[in-house]
Amino acid sequence: MKLRRPISLRGFLAFAAIVCGTALAASQAPVGAEHGMVVTAHKLATEVGIGVLKHGGNAVDAAVAVGYTLAVVYPAAGNLGGGGFMTIQLADGRKTFIDFREKAPLAATPNMYLDSAGNVIKGLSTKGHLAVAVPGSVAGLEYARTKYGTRSRGALIAPAIGFAERGFTLDDGDIALFATATDDFKDDPATAAIFLNKGQPYKAGDRLVQKDLAKTLRLIARSGPEAFYEGSIAEAIAASSAMGNGVISKADLQQYKVRELAPIECDYRGYHIVSAPPPSSGGVVICEILNVLEGYPLKDLGFRSAQAVHYQIEAMRHAYVDRNSYLGDPDFVKNPLDRLLGKRYAEKIRAAIDPAKAGVSRDLKPGVPPHEGANTTH
């Protein structure tokens, strides 16, 4: 997000203190920075990103280093076997969006998660080899680094290799995440060997070492994405998939492509927002919500007042109905972005919101005319 109008750091922090004052009783004071900021899901990854910036790397370099580090220190979400999005605004004003989300394998079918009667088979799309799509993280991080970064691949992957090889100390948060999947770990010997300590759950203070992951990261650091998508790693992925009744093949990995798209942009009370376009729903939903809220005197209503919160909830309710009804992968779905992001459409939503009564989500219908098409998010 950038400001169209200039504002000093001191002024911004004062503004933030006024707006967020009510919340500060239960949280830490906001942190300000003049040149850069790194926020991640794990302290160690944040420290890696800050280190990259302090040593002359740019924001993309920091993001790439963080991405690889999270694959080691935050296995609940950080990954080499998944995918992601990256929204970028360069110092010269250029904006772009990199889509490196997972893709369906070539052998995937519309009914692969259904039984013979057409009913969804519980868990089949969320657990096991058949639930896995073709990973994009390695390709996407390298694409971003090559085109928009300034540092070498080896330098950016080195911190992740260190954490994988030497290990890192697990804290209470790590253990809480592991605990949600202990039974699943026990069902898979290969996973149990990594995330269980001799068959038992890890405890806070234990050290998690992932030497095989360190080897994988070294191969990627040395040879690039080809090591992951065409070499021994690709062979291991395809073999594991076949053994577990999955459908990912070496051809899937070899054909994976990153794509670059224009980001979503909108304005809110003098601020200019740059965010993710479809196949992400994030930018569209954020901008639709802000367009609706812009028509309400939120400052006069008061921060966290019942009326202000009511309008926020209702704006979100309408935006998510549209998200689930219209948004999808642009390769297959015509997303009606001009309508959803239009100020006039926001006016129609405000007119439908009862200022004194909560809406019922299941009763709401999407507000864009039917001829635009109706598709669920992908």
What is the β-pairing status of strands 259-261 and 95-100? Answer: antiparallel
- Note the pLDDT tens digit of each residue in 129-166: 999 999 999 999 999 999 999 999 999 999 999 999 99
pLDDT at position 78 over 90 = no
- Note the pLDDT tens digit of each residue in 162-194: 999 999 999 999 999 999 999 999 999 999 999
User: Given pLDDT bands bounded at 50, 70 and 90, which one contains residue 31?
Assistant: confident
Across-strand partners of 274? Answer: 265
pLDDT at 26: 56
Mean model confidence pLDDT for the chain = 90
The whole-number average pLDDT for the span 94-98 is: 97
- Note the pLDDT tens digit of each residue in 7-18: 333 333 333 333
* Cis peptide bond N-terminal to 263, omega within 30: no
- Note the pLDDT tens digit of each residue in 317-359: 999 999 999 999 999 999 999 999 999 999 999 999 999 999 9
H or E element in which residue 215 lies: helix 211-223
H or E element in which residue 98 lies: strand 95-100
- SS3 state at 275: strand
Catalytic residue among 22, 109, 150, 376, which?
Answer: 376
pLDDT at 290: 98
The domains found in the chain, sorted by start residue, are 43-167+209-260 (no CATH), 265-363 (1.10.246.130)
CA 189/CA 186 separation, integer angstroms: 7
User: Given pLDDT bands bounded at 50, 70 and 90, which one contains residue 27?
Assistant: low
- Note the pLDDT tens digit of each residue in 197-255: 999 999 999 999 999 999 999 999 999 999 999 999 999 999 999 999 999 999 999 99
Written as one letter, the residue type at 217 is L
User: Given pLDDT bands bounded at 50, 70 and 90, which one contains residue 366?
Assistant: confident
Task: Please state the separation of Cα 193 from the chain's center in Å.
Answer: 28
Say which residues have a Cβ less than 8 Å from residue 307's Cβ, sequence separation at least 6.
Answer: 301, 355
pLDDT above 70 covers a percentage of the chain that reads 90
What is the β-pairing status of strands 168-169 and 264-268? Answer: unpaired
| Among 68, 97, 86, 48, CA closest to 157 | 68
CA 106/CA 101 separation, integer angstroms: 15
Q: Is 376 known to be catalytic?
A: yes
- pTM equals 0.86
Burial class (CB in 10 A: 0-12, 13-18, 19+), 23: exposed
